[in-house]
Amino acid sequence: MSKSTPHIKSDNIKIAETILLPGDPLRAKYIADNFLEDAIQFNAVRNMFGYTGKYKGKEISVMGSGMGMPSIGIYSWELINVFGVKNLIRIGSCGALQENLKLYDVIFGIGASTNSNYAAQYELPGTFAPVASWKLLEKAKKVADEKNIKVHIGNILSSDIFYGDNPDAILKWKKMGILGVEMEAAALYMNAARAGVNALCILTVSDHILTHEETTPEERQTAFTKMMEIALELAE
């Protein structure tokens, strides 16, 4: 029987145990068209495109996750708990928050601080620290080293706010060593922790909050390639 949810209808097409999750569904299509062999589309519900194919002979899937923690929270929960996905790798963009970071730099989020209330659902007697899977992080670092790709590893911020009343508030996170700001990783890390599976967030710096430098959409297409190549090597 074909598995389906309100947001994913796979039509008996297998979703691999390892999946890449770019925010933009068109970037998922780009990866399927340019990196995967024998790619088959398994989802088009709400135009959140998903594909399964092979990379260097290993089965892997890729699907858009949308923007924000509610969106990736829904898709990652369904992928894990309904479709049996074991390794979830977010590949996205971020705004840099440290002077030593440059446009196009790659960041591995070892932890994901957040201003979200996502963890309240677990009714924990304290504050939960969302962190990446060491298994995926260690392997990703080895791949980056083999490909001679410089990466920054540290804490990132998953924010619920893109446009805020106080734009300078983000600078308080800089004081705590936060490398970059995005909007999804914390929810992904929490869903993975709750289900006992693996998750990792790999980011490319698309703009710099301190210098106000930014990439164009065309430049981002090229800048994202290094991140994609690392993530694709994580297929098992």
111 labeled binding residue: no
93 labeled binding residue: yes
7 labeled binding residue: yes
78 labeled binding residue: no
What single string gives the DSSP state of each residue in the chain? ---B-SS-B-TTPPPPSEEEEESSHHHHHHHHHHH-EEEEEEE-GGG--EEEEEETTEEEEEE---SSHHHHHHHHHHHHHTT---EEEEEEEEEE-STT--TT-EEEEEEEEES--GGGGG--SS----B--HHHHHHHHHHHHHTT--EEEEEEEE-S-SS-S-GGGGHHHHTTT--EEESSHHHHHHHHHHHT-EEEEEEEEEEETTT--B--HHHHHHHHHHHHHHHHTT--
The catalytic position among 11, 33, 165, 207 is 207
71 labeled binding residue: no
99 labeled binding residue: no
Assess whether 207 carries a catalytic annotation. yes
184 labeled binding residue: yes
10 labeled binding residue: no
220 labeled binding residue: no
57 labeled binding residue: no
Binding-site residues from annotation for phosphate: 23, 27, 46, 90-93
Binding-site residues from annotation: 7, 23, 27, 46, 90-93, 182-184, 206-207
Binding-site residues from annotation for a purine D-ribonucleoside: 7, 182-184, 206-207
Write out the catalytic residue numbers: 207
